[in-house]
Chain A
Amino acid sequence: MNQWRFEVFNKDGFADVCGNGVLEEIKELGIKSIQAVQSAKVFLLEADFDNDFANRLGRELLSDPVCEEFYLGRSSAPVGLAKATLIEVHLKSGVTDPVAKSVTAAIADMGRQVGNVRTARKYVLLGELSQNQIETIAKKILANDCIEDCMIGSDAEPPNPHLKPYEFKIIHLPLCELDDDGLINLSKEKDLFLSLAEMQTIQKYYQKLGKEPTDIELETLAQTWSEHCVHKTLKSSVDLQLNGENVHFDNLLKETVFQATKQLNKSWCISVFSDNAGVVEFDDESAVCFKVETHNHPSALDPYGGAATGIGGVIRDPMGTGMGSKPIANTDIFCFGEPDKKLEDLPKGVLHPKRIMKGVVSGVRDYGNRMGIPTVNGAVYFDDRYIANPLVFCGNIGLMDKNKCFGNTQTGNLIIVVGGRTGRDGIHGATFSSGEMTHEHETIFSHAVQIGNAITEKNMLDVLLQANEAELYESITDCGAGGLSSAVGEMGEKLGAQVDLEKVPLKYAGLNYTEIWISEAQERMVIAVKPENLKAIMEIFDGENVEATVIGKFTDDKKLTLRYNGENVAEIDMDFLHNGVAKIQRKAIWQDKKLSEPNLPEKTNYNDDLLQILSSYNVASKEWIIRQYDHEVQGGSVVKPLTGIKNDGPSDAAVVKPKYNSDKAIAISCGMNPLYGDIDPYWMALAGIDEAIRNLICVGGRADRIALLDNFCWGNCSRAETFGSLVRAAQACYDGAMAFESPFISGKDSLNNEFSCEDGTKIAIPSTLLISAMSIVNNVNKCVTMDLKKADNLLFIVGETKNELGGSHYYKIHEQLGANVPKLNLETAPKIAAKISSAIDAGLVASCHDCSEGGLAVALAEMAFAGGLGIETDLRGLPKSNDCLKVDSQLFSESNSRYIIEVKPENYDAFAKMMLNQPFGQLGKVTRENKLIIKTEDGKTAIEADIDSLKQAWQKTFDWK
């Protein structure tokens, strides 16, 4: 067969989007000598066709007739004065190339056959560059080392696509005779991330059996027992020293977060903390499930791929909950280092925060948009302690039949793997994500990064929904962390399972049986199917070209048996696999910090402070991100992330109406405040819960149907102090859930978010608890948005303002932390939320916004510029605590449970009557003046600013291209 090479360039006059993007990034690296970058798509085809057909292919399929031109063969560098450097980026051997697959199919549609197809990207850099600079550009911008190879120069050959076949050989890893050091070494050598106690447990098990484990048995145990999969730290037995007093937990999670859910025992909770997502009732026919996952470590190494597979992975959770659900909304919350960091200030092995942010946003965008799921809610938080450990939280909500919320695997069911093929990608992802990162992770763990292809997942979703409707399978789960090992292990836990590993379809030859078993290749689900339904279900899959393969069956011997070509390679008792992990005993210490309040001088005017807070990274408009997400696909978005007269104000929460024939909807929100955690994680957690709930209430969510999710991201919890702060937050989760009668329905943790620099110093992230929340909206027509609606309407505040500037954004801009962290009043907070909810339901509220980052002043500014109207207010009517005397604390305190509400004059009486006995007061009114005016109690003007300038300050920070 001949080797054909096509290069496709943009014609003159048509923007080279890819080349221009690269040029901009090169400039961001500080390399100024480059004048232009040209990019080209490269197609390498092995085929028998002649020159005529090759030309037809170039013209009709591979290039666009208007804006591109193709070159058959290898083009030479453009002639000109500037020095040209050619770099080609190829996928590494074996990495999935979806474009190549599409091209192969398209050529078949044209009636011709083609052998191997590969695609690549070629860059021509025009300008003087040193060898060092070329390598930097190749490594930092053009290629991702994990999955791509760079070829520099015009005649370098691409990597050979043909891989060696695998030769079967069973490997045993003897451990029965090892001493403790030997066990620790084995765990390290094989990247098992198992502790000595765990290795000892395994050793005893095999000593008793009188045999040595195979490699795959040990790997299976390591995967199943990984922090990522079993949350052994959160479920550990804890002795907490709380300010010198001893508190004991037998099982931390069960006695805090779970405990609240159990005690509240809500009838609308259908499945909590047991399946891939938490399930609650939606209406008489349907239920909704919600899951939020983190994908932090992969996103640190490969921001684009890590975030894409983060969202891709979490979508499979609702898809694999109960009998499967239809995904209806995505959420995403990120934590990054500040994007203006200098390159030379970054620790070795760390990507620039702006590059991470752009990559992460593109990854979520491309995967979420391609799946056709609206990304409707999110937040971004910046702190330099996230510089080496960015946090990427991805959430997904699914809608399902209420009578299909549980699977039922039975003995004799066939095990079928559906969707993508298995490759070497993502090996050791579960164990890798459970450990700490170092500057060497970039090279050592490149294989732990998964590679996503949204269209494969979308196809799989399409057919699974049909199979679900036809009731052709008995249970379903996703292949997430731990791959087939976790999926089959979980489904067969109570029964037993037998898998023939050579039957698993592979992306390429060469994988050994262990790699097949633990690969975290994306876009795969496992279903259990009765033999009599096999034909019917395969017809659905075949009809839409989705691969599905029987790889084994569920048994009744309560053993996990793995075979390769008929030979046993593993046999583990399910009971030992799932319940054998030794319980951890942990010590935790929490000592209240000795902090003090700064003494900032009182000023007569706070305009500059307000402007500075509005343009600070955490508060500033995230429109640059939001617009890149399709937040309207499926047609259900009722309250969109951006709102107001110019469609650009910040919504408090999203409302999604999932059914065409019903006005019932779901409100979705989040809350997070890492800065408060620097003072006390207990109050941080409660503030997060209150913030998430406030946001739901503001848009019209019901106060009595709120479900919560927790995501703990912490540093190394083997340090008693770090773990102590987590225990404090977990205690707060219990208290908050009980106070609001809002159960937690699902949660996840990601620990060890620390980075060891080359010189041995460690960077730990701030203790970060993300609270996600969802509630029911009875009637979308009653939803409220945060933008001011009409001049002369009255403005009220409900909730007390206290002297609580600790951890506030006001202190942050003055480089202070303070001590007075906002302390949630567990008694009043739920009452206020319920009252506001009733007022909205009664139609008395024209707009509603909560006070959060930046306090009252920022909330008022946002409402004003979102509505294009002015505000005239004074602080006399502000309900406040006795110690809240200073103007700055009245303006910028971040006290919880505060809502600003716009009311039509004719509704004043009804509204005031409803708020009776709540701390509430009139702030002022809406004006036509386009000005935000806030006067102090004694009538002096504290803030007077034009709303356009406020908006501009808020928008300019991320006014990125």
Chain B
Amino acid sequence: MAEVNPVRNSTTGHLKKVCNNMTQNRQISNVVKVLILRAAGINCDLETQHAFELAGAKAERIHINKIIENKQLLEQFQILAFPGGFSYGDDVAAGKILANQIVHHLYEPLQKFIESGKLVLGICNGFQVLVKAGLLPGTTSNEQQATSNEITITNNDSGKFEDRWVYLAPQTDKCVFIEPGKQIYLPIAHGEGKVVTKDDATLEKLKTENHIAFKYVDENSNECDYPANPNGSVESIAGLTDSTGRVLGLMPHPERFVRLTQHPRWSRCKSKDKTADGMGIFHNAVRFVQKNL
């Protein structure tokens, strides 16, 4: 990994204190720190941690109870990841209970986190949480309730959980996680991944304001129906970003394609030295933090 820039942070005082308590404080203060959120039913935390570590970050898995208990914890990190899984069993609706917890216990610290230039990634169930908590497509805090009423993620058209690989075409150049123009191939594994909007105007706004991060496409980059669009999302939306471009939520799992042998056809691939598509998202996030924070 290339040399990393020191972390610049509005709360460096606190951070320094934490780091000084550690023996290898020098190295640690240079490292990009990622908080991988754990909660009841989240089950992709380990592989998400692994992906960030492959990208050169130091990732720590922390249970939500600990963060609610000590909200300052968040300040030590530059990236917050909501991993996939079935938070609280997807009771009531996918991601709903965890979203409710975020809204009522962590909304302000999270807003502050985003406003200070830090990054938030939500994968699969994490994406559902971000949308249902109003963090995606995201706005300023007073508009929160309004936006979370306009977009949701609901049952796949097929009516069932499905695991399959999909092609994704980036739709924006403002999202720091994404390499514009580069089509990628990732697996999805969900039963509720269909993005829908309240009305056409909302959809139009998503398009004009550059909130659509990824669309499902076929191998030849054409938008089309099932199974290329595995859940029936409107406009083939696979992922959304907020107005800052620093919050990304997507249904597919980039953390499940961080080495070549995870590709479903790796045994057919001639070249073994390509990088795995999912790594791009983690590399971009870590590089952004190294450059800008």
Query: Chain A interface (Cβ within 8 Å of chain B)?
Result: 14-15, 17, 20-21, 60-62, 64-67, 98-99, 101-103, 105-106, 109-111, 365-366, 369-372, 453-455, 458-459, 462, 543-545, 626-635, 637-640, 642-645, 647, 657, 660, 780-781, 783-785, 787, 789, 961
Nearest-neighbour CB distance to chain B for A541, whole angstroms, equals: 12
Query: Chain B residues with Cβ under 8 A from A14's Cβ?
Result: 154, 196
> Cβ of B104 and Cβ of A660 under 8 Å apart?
no
Task: Please give, as numbers and ranges, the residues of chain A lying within 8 Å of B154 by CB-CB distance.
Answer: 14, 64, 66-67
CB interface residues, B 79-104, toward A, < 8 Å: 84-86, 88-89, 91-93, 96-97, 100-101, 104
Contact yes or no, A961 B165, CB < 8 A: no
> Taking CB as reference atom, which chain B residue is nearest A62?
B92
Query: How many whole Å from A47's CB to the nearest CB in chain B?
Result: 16
Kindly report which residue of chain B lies nearest to residue A544, judged by CB atoms.
B63
Query: Could you tell me the distance between the alpha carbons of A103 and B148 in the complex, rounded to whole angstroms?
Result: 19
Chain A nearest CB, measured from B289 CB (Å)? 22
Contacts of A458 in B (CB 8 A): 40-41, 43
- Contact at A543–B151, with CB atoms within 8 Å? no
Contact present for A15 and B159 (CB under 8 Å)? yes
Q: Which 7 A-B residue pairs are closest in the complex by CB-CB distance?
A: A372-B43, A102-B91, A66-B152, A635-B47, A65-B149, A455-B89, A17-B159
Contacts of A369 in B (CB 8 A): 86, 161, 189
Contact between A21 and B40, CB atoms less than 8 A apart? no
Which residues of B are found within 8 Å of A545, using beta-carbon distances? 40, 65
Other-chain contact of B38, A17, A61, A66, A462 (Cβ < 8 Å)? A462
Is the Cβ of B164 less than 8 Å from the Cβ of A647? Answer: yes
Complex-state Cα separation, A672 to B92, whole angstroms: 41
Complex contacts, B101 vs chain A, CB 8 Å: 106, 109
In the complex, chain B residues 261-293 whose Cβ is within 8 Å of any chain A Cβ: 261-262, 264-268, 272
- Given known pairs A454-B89, A455-B88, A635-B47, the reply for A628 and B161 (CB within 8 Å) is yes
Subset of 9 A-B contacts with CB under 8 Å: A99-B89, A109-B100, A110-B100, A458-B40, A628-B162, A633-B47, A647-B164, A647-B165, A789-B267
Which residues in A have their C-beta under 8 angstroms from that of B105? 109
Given contacts A66-B150, A647-B264, contact A370 B89 (CB under 8 A): yes
B66 part of interface (Cβ distance < 8 Å): yes
Q: Is the CB of A65 within 8 A of B100?
A: no
Write the residues of chain B forming the contact surface with A, with a CB cutoff of 8 angstroms: 38, 40-41, 43-44, 46-47, 50, 63, 65-66, 84-86, 88-89, 91-93, 96-97, 100-101, 104-105, 148-152, 154-155, 157-165, 187, 189, 196-198, 253, 255-256, 258, 261-262, 264-268, 272
Whether B253 contacts A632 by the Cβ 8 Å rule is yes
Once A543-B66, A630-B189 are accepted as A-B contacts, the answer to whether A644 and B265 lie under 8 Å apart by CB is yes
Among B63, B92, B198, max chain A CB count under 10 A is at B92
* Contact present for B44 and A15 (CB under 8 Å): no
Q: Once the chains bind, are B93 and A66 in contact (CB under 8 Å)?
A: no
Residues in A with CB closer than 8 Å to B163 are: 626-632
- Evaluate contact between A64 and B88: CB separation under 8 angstroms: no
Chain A residues within 8 Å of B268, by CB? 645, 785, 787, 789
Cβ–Cβ contact A102 & B267, under 8 A: no
Residues of B within 8 A of A644 (CB): 265
Asked if residues B50 and A660 are in contact (CB atoms below 8 Å), the reply is: yes
Rounded to whole angstroms, the CA-CA distance of A12 and B264 in the bound complex is 39
Measured between beta carbons, the chain B residues less than 8 angstroms from A961 are 158-159
Alpha-carbon gap, A638 to B257, bound state (A): 11
- Known contacts A61-B96, A64-B154, A109-B105; is-contact A635 B256 (Cβ 8 Å): yes
Q: Are A21 and B161 in contact (CB under 8 A)?
A: no
Q: Do A102 and B92 touch (CB < 8 A)?
A: yes
Partner of B261, one of A20, A370, A453, A657: A657
The interface centre, meaning the residue of A103, A455, A635 with most chain B CB atoms within 10 A of its CB, is A635
Nearest neighbor of A366 in chain B, beta-carbon distance = B161
| Other A-B pairs beyond A17-B155, A458-B43, 18, CB < 8 Å | A15-B155, A66-B196, A98-B89, A109-B104, A370-B41, A371-B43, A455-B89, A459-B40, A543-B63, A545-B40, A545-B65, A628-B161, A628-B162, A635-B256, A638-B262, A644-B265, A647-B165, A780-B261
Contact A645 B265 (CB under 8 A): yes
Task: Determine the distance from Cα of A660 to Cα of B84 in the docked complex, in whole angstroms.
Answer: 18
Q: How far is the CA of A647 from the CA of B227 in the complex (A)?
A: 12
Closest CB in chain A relative to B99 CB, distance in Å? 9
Q: Verify B97–A106 contact, CB threshold 8 A.
A: yes
CB-CB under 8 A from B165, the residues of chain A are 647
For the complex, what is the distance from the CA of A544 to the CA of B38, rounded to whole Å? 10
Using known A-B contacts A66-B151, A455-B40, A632-B256, determine if residue A365 contacts B85 with beta carbons closer than 8 Å: no
Could you tell me if B93 and A64 are in contact, using CB atoms closer than 8 angstroms?
Answer: yes
Nearest-CB distance from B82 to chain A (Å)? Answer: 15
Q: Give the distance in Å from the alpha carbon of A145 to the alpha carbon of B157 in the complex.
A: 30
By a CB distance below 8 angstroms, the chain A residues around B157 are: 15
Chain B residues in 8 Å Cβ range of A639: 267
* Max chain A Cβ within 10 angstroms of own Cβ: one of B97, B161, B163, B268: B163
The reply to whether A453 and B267 form a contact with Cβ atoms under 8 Å apart is: no
B131 shortest CB reach to chain A, Å: 10
Among A106, A781, A783, point to the contact of B100 (Cβ < 8 A).
A106
Residue of chain B at shortest CB distance from A365: B161
Complex CA gap A652/B261 in Å reads 17
Contact A66 B197 (CB under 8 A): yes
Measured CB to CB, the closest approach of chain A to B225, in angstroms, equals 15
Q: Across the interface, do B40 and A103 meet the contact criterion of CB distance under 8 Å? A: no
For A8, the closest partner residue in chain B by CB is B92
Decide: A61 near B47, CB < 8 A? Known: A545-B40, A637-B262. no
Within the complex, the shortest CB–CB distance from B144 to chain A, in Å, comes to 11
Task: Check A455 against B41 for contact (C-beta < 8 Å).
Answer: yes
Q: Which of B40, B46, B85 has the most CB of A within 10 A?
A: B40
A372 to B44, CA, bound (A): 7
Complex CA gap A493/B9 in Å reads 59
The residue in B148, B160, B198 that gathers the most chain A C-beta atoms within 10 A of its C-beta is: B160
Which chain B residue shows the least CB distance to A66? B152
Task: Name the CB-closest residue of A to B198.
Answer: A66
Question: Would you call A633 and B44 a contact (CB within 8 A)?
Answer: yes
| Other-chain contact of B43, A21, A65, A633 (Cβ < 8 Å) | A633
Complex alpha-carbon distance, A630 and B198, angstroms: 30
Q: Is A544 a contact partner of B96 (Cβ separation < 8 A)?
A: no
For the complex, give the distance between the alpha carbons of A462 and B41 in Å.
10
Chain A residues within an 8 Å CB radius of B152: 64-67
Give the shortest distance, in Å, between B66 (CB) and chain A (any CB): 7
Complex Cα spacing A369 to B46, Å: 16
List the A side residues contacting B89 at CB < 8 Å.
98-99, 102, 370, 453-455
Bound: A638/B276 CA distance, A: 14
> Considering the chains assembled together, what is the distance between the CA atoms of A366 and B89 in angstroms?
10
Cα A784 to Cα B265 with chains together (Å): 11
- A642 B264 Cβ-Cβ under 8 A: yes
Q: Is the CB of B41 within 8 A of A61?
A: no
A98 proximity list for chain B (CB < 8 A): 89, 91
Closest Cβ neighbor of A781 among chain B residues: B261
Asked whether, in the complex, the Cβ of A61 is within 8 Å of the Cβ of B92, the reply is yes
Residues of chain B within 8 A (CB-CB) of A634 are 46-47
Q: Of B43, B50, B253, B267, which contacts A783 at CB under 8 A?
A: B267
- The answer for the CA separation of A649 and B6 in the assembled complex, in Å, is 49
Residues in A whose Cβ lies below 8 Å from that of B164: 627, 647
Contact of B92 among A106, A455, A647, A789 (CB under 8 A): A106
With A17-B155, A102-B88, A453-B89 already in contact, the answer to whether A632 and B261 are too (CB < 8 A) is no
CA A101 to CA B253, docked complex, whole Å = 29
A628: chain B residues at CB < 8 Å are 160-163
Residue ID in chain B nearest A546 by CB atoms:
B40
Chain B residues with Cβ under 8 A from A17's Cβ? 155, 159
Q: How far is the CA of A223 from the CA of B105 in the complex (A)?
A: 47
Which residues in B have their C-beta under 8 angstroms from that of A99? 89, 91-92
A619→B148 CA distance, assembly (Å) = 48
Q: Are B91 and A370 in contact (CB under 8 A)?
A: no
Alpha-carbon gap, A65 to B197, bound state (A)? 10
Complex CA gap A462/B42 in Å reads 10
Whole-angstrom CA separation of A660 from B154 in the bound complex: 33
